[in-house]
């Protein structure tokens, strides 16, 4: 099983491992160097064990995420401990074959095995269980977190709804602070988990856990860190432009006392709990006098869409590209709305339970534009999982984790165009070119606003893992990064015990995050290439590849490869480009960037 994005203890990057059996009968104790046959036998056994373990741990995790109780937490922790211990054991043992002259496929598998784990466990007795118990506890603390508001306990989804729609700065601040009050009890456990994972990482020969995370990209870890910095430098001027424009509009709306005209933006005013995407405040930042003839949320509501119908629409987008429909079990086993009678993990996720075709989605869908996009995102994971299922177990994953996140977003780029909404009958008339700037602005509030956030989460974690940021500096370092990269500040000084990173799913969930930063770059490369393939002539923001079988075929070829080949090669086959490159996202938004520069004339940008 591979669950995209979640982060329970069972999450391993490239699949889940099998138990710590003693290295498939090799003679570790003898002095004889392992042979090529030993290496291939080791890999074969690892793949069988890992595949079995992955299904077992996956089912336990599924049950826990769908029904959070003391008991399911316990069961999930037990299975997660076994899975992580097995992955760590195989990672260690894979290194024994470093000097063996094996064939390239086996070599690639061994290289993957050596680093295929998010939170490595130390070998000593009890460590894996302690880590898994903490992981499950953090996950459930986040997912069941509530705070009191107006005398009522409220959960994250209600809090998000208030941030989305309220324009009262006092109310927004109270709800933002309320949700962040859920996190302080997580801090000590989180710090303990970091210590243990680092101990495990050192046993595998890495400096710390962050170095493992940076080692997943067919290049040296330090080269990868430099690559992400270079990509950020490419897009930063555009982000600064958007920040400047939005800050000006917030200042006009709320006045100097709430949002000053200069300096950083007050994070809670962005319509999003983490200020990671700002499309919920489009009404505040919309260009003066610009007409915007449709609103996707309203179209969905007016056309009687519910979670099921939204998911069906998502499926039909992929079907139009020639991909086979979802299996019947997808509809029977997925969880598409928040149940009333029990606690669940609401953060959206896509699951691959049996490494064949038991694919599922779990999300508490709401009928709005954001979740319409999320549905395409999650389905992208499922179609990827199903396409690479025939690969050997170790290769059943994305070309890298950024690819896994980018596939559904790539579909979403077509599926949110007025061109497509018109094709499927939701939108009666296609808006004219005078709406291009409003449409691009709406999209930039999702895609450009996200970039610094996508980068900084793991910058924070890399420093936490390396010890540069000790627990007493967790919150300070968090806000230093949020200020430096995003230009954001909290609504008021934070309490001494605050643990604000814990209020974002992927921190207690231990889901690596640079993958999303990469995805937001890749998806525009995929989109540009697919639109070229489709012979699209107009602007990229109008291009929909809906119904294009040639694009579907190329996409499927990429998906089927899984991670059997280095990601640059897979990228080149789909796009003709052999490196990750921010020019596609910049191309897509070029007219908006020119327009923003114009709008910002006379303003002092930056913070
Ligand atoms: O976590 C997710 C997906 C599941 S892989 C819903 N995303 C990130 C987030 O919500 O923070 C998608 C965009 C970024
Ligand atoms: Zn995802």
pLDDT tens per residue across span 133-177? 999 999 999 999 999 999 999 999 999 999 999 999 999 999 999
**Beta carbons within 10 angstroms of residue 436's beta carbon:** 18
CA 406–ligand 2 middle distance (angstroms)? 8
DSSP β-bridge partners for residue 266? 489
Q: What is the dihedral of CA 38, 39, 43, 44, to 10 degrees?
A: -40
**Does 382 share its domain with 447?**
no
Residue 261 forms part of a structural domain: yes
Is residue 129 domain-resident? yes
Which residue's CA is the closest to the ligand 1 atom numbered 1? 5
Residues 352 and 461 in one domain: no
Residue 290 is predicted with a pLDDT of 79
- b/e for 320-344, b at 16 or more Cβ within 10 A? bbebeebbeebeebbbbebeeeebb
- Same domain flag for 306 and 421: yes
| 86 Cα–ligand 1 center, Å | 28
Q: Is residue 318 part of a domain?
A: yes
Atom of ligand 1 nearest to the CA of 349: 4
Cα separation, 311 vs 325, whole angstroms? 12
Span from the CA of 98 to the centroid of ligand 1 (angstroms): 36
CA distance 579 to 22: 40
Domain-terminating residue out of 108, 138, 168: 138
**379 near 409, Cβ under 8 Å?**
no
Yes or no: say if 415 and 423 are a contact pair by the CB < 8 Å rule. Answer: no
Give the residue, by CA position, lying nearest to ligand 1 atom 5: 5
Q: Whose CA is nearest to atom 13 of ligand 1?
A: 516
Task: Check residue 27 and give its pLDDT.
Answer: 41
DSSP for residue 443: H
Residue pair 400/218 in contact (Cβ under 8 Å)? The answer is: yes
343 and 456 together in one domain: no
Which of 5, 8, 363 to mutate for ligand 1's pocket (most ligand atoms within 8 Å of CB)? 5
Q: Is residue 3 part of a domain?
A: no
Whether 2 is in a domain gets the answer no
The alpha carbon of 375 and the centre of ligand 1 are apart by a number of angstroms equal to 11
Clarify whether residues 227 and 152 are in a common domain. Answer: yes
Task: Say whether both 447 and 402 belong to one domain.
Answer: no
Q: Count Cα neighbours of 34 within 13 Å in the Cβ-side half-sphere.
A: 25
Is the same domain home to 307 and 161?
no
pLDDT score of 3: 63
Ligand 1: lining residues by beta carbon, under 6 Å? 4-5, 276, 348, 374, 377, 516
Q: Does residue 478 share a domain with residue 331?
A: no
What pLDDT digit, counting tens, does each position of 545-583 carry? 999 999 999 999 999 999 999 999 999 999 999 999 999
- Asked if residue 264 is part of any domain, the answer here is yes
What is the per-residue pLDDT for 31?
Answer: 56
Rounded to 10°, the helix 567-575/514-533 angle is: 30
Give the distance (Å) from ligand 1 centre to CA of residue 586.
22
What is the total count of domains within the chain?
3
Q: Which residues of the chain have pLDDT under 50?
A: 5-29
Same domain as 105, residue 71: yes
**104, 138, 172 - which closes a domain:** 138
Place of tokens 């490369």: 525
pLDDT at 14: 35
| Cβ partners under 8 Å of residue 70, min gap 6 | none
pTM, whole model, 2 decimals? 0.95
Q: In terms of Cα–Cα distance, which of 428, 420, 443, 446 is closest to 316?
A: 420
Residue 526, domain member (yes or no): no
Q: Is residue 420 in some structural domain? A: yes
- Which of these three, 138, 158, 192, is where a domain ends? 138
253 C-alpha vs ligand 2 centroid, how far in Å?
34
Tell me: do 477 and 411 sit in the same domain: no
pLDDT given at position 294: 87
Q: Same domain, yes or no, for 284 and 324? A: no
Give the domain range for residue 64.
Answer: 12-138
Same domain as 463, residue 333: no
Residue with CA closest to ligand 1 atom 8: 516
- What does the alpha-carbon distance between residue 324 and residue 327 come to, in Å, rounded to a whole number? 9
Relative to beta strand 349-352, strand 359-362 is antiparallel
């Amino acid at each position: 099983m591979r669950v995209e994005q979640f982060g329970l203890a069972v999450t391993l990057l490239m699949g889940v491992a099998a138990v710590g059996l003693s290295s498939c009968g090799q003679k570790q104790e003898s002095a004889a160097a392992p042979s090529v046959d030993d290496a291939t036998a080791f890999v074969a056994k690892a793949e069988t064990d890992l595949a079995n373990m992955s299904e077992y741990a996956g089912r336990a995790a599924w049950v826990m995420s769908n029904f959070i109780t003391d008991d399911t937490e316990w069961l999930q922790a037990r299975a997660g401990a076994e899975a992580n211990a097995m992955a760590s054991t195989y990672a260690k043992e894979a290194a024994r074959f470093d000097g063996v002259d094996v064939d390239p496929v086996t070599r690639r598998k061994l290289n993957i095995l050596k680093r295929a784990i998010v939170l490595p466990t130390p070998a000593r007795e009890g460590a894996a269980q302690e880590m898994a118990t903490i992981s499950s506890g953090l996950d459930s603390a986040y997912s069941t977190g509530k705070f009191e508001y107006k005398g009522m306990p409220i959960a994250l989804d209600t809090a998000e709804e208030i941030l989305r729609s309220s324009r009262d700065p006092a109310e927004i601040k109270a709800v933002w602070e309320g949700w962040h009050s859920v996190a302080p009890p997580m801090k000590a456990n989180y710090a303990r988990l970091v210590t243990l994972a680092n101990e495990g990482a050192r046993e595998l020969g890495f400096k710390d856990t962050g170095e493992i995370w940076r080692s997943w990209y067919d290049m040296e870890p330090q080269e990868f860190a430099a690559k992400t910095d270079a990509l950020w430098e490419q897009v930063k001027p555009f982000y600064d432009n958007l920040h400047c424009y939005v800050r000006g509009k917030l200042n006009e709306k709320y006045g100097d006392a709430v949002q000053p005209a200069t300096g950083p933006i007050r994070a809670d005013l962005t319509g999003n709990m983490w200020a990671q995407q700002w499309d919920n405040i489009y009404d505040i930042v919309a260009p003066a006098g610009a007409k915007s003839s449709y609103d996707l949320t309203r179209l969905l509501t007016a056309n009687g869409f519910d979670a099921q119908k939204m998911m069906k629409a998502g499926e039909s987008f992929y079907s139009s590209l020639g991909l086979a429909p979802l299996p019947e079990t997808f509809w029977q086993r997925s969880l598409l709305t928040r149940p009333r009678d029990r606690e669940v993990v609401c953060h959206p996720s896509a699951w691959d339970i049996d490494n064949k075709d038991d694919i599922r989605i779990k999300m508490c869908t709401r009928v709005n534009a954001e979740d319409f996009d999320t549905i395409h995102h999650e389905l992208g994971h499922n179609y990827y999982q199903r396409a690479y299922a025939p690969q050997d177990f170790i290769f059943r994953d994305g070309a890298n984790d950024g690819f896994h996140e980018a596939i559904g977003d790539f579909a979403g780029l077509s599926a949110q165009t007025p061109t497509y909404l018109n094709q499927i009958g939701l939108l009666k008339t296609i808006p004219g070119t005078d709406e291009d700037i409003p449409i691009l602005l709406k999209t930039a509030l999702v895609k450009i606003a996200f970039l610094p956030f996508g980068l900084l989460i793991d910058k924070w974690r890399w420093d936490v893992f390396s010890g540069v940021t000790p627990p007493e500096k967790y919150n300070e370092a968090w806000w230093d990064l949020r200020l430096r990269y995003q230009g954001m500040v909290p609504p008021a000084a934070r309490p001494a015990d605050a643990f604000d990173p814990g209020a974002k799913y992927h921190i207690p969930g231990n889901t690596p995050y640079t993958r999303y930063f990469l995805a937001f770059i890749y998806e525009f490369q995929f989109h540009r290439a697919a639109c070229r393939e489709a012979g699209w002539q107009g602007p990229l923001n109008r291009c929909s590849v809906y119904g294009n079988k040639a694009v579907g075929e190329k996409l499927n070829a990429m998906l089927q490869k899984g991670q059997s080949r280095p990601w640059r090669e897979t990228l080149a086959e789909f796009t003709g480009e052999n490196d990750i490159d921010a020019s596609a996202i910049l191309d897509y938004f070029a007219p908006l960037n020119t327009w923003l520069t114009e709008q910002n004339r006379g303003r002092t940008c930056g913070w």
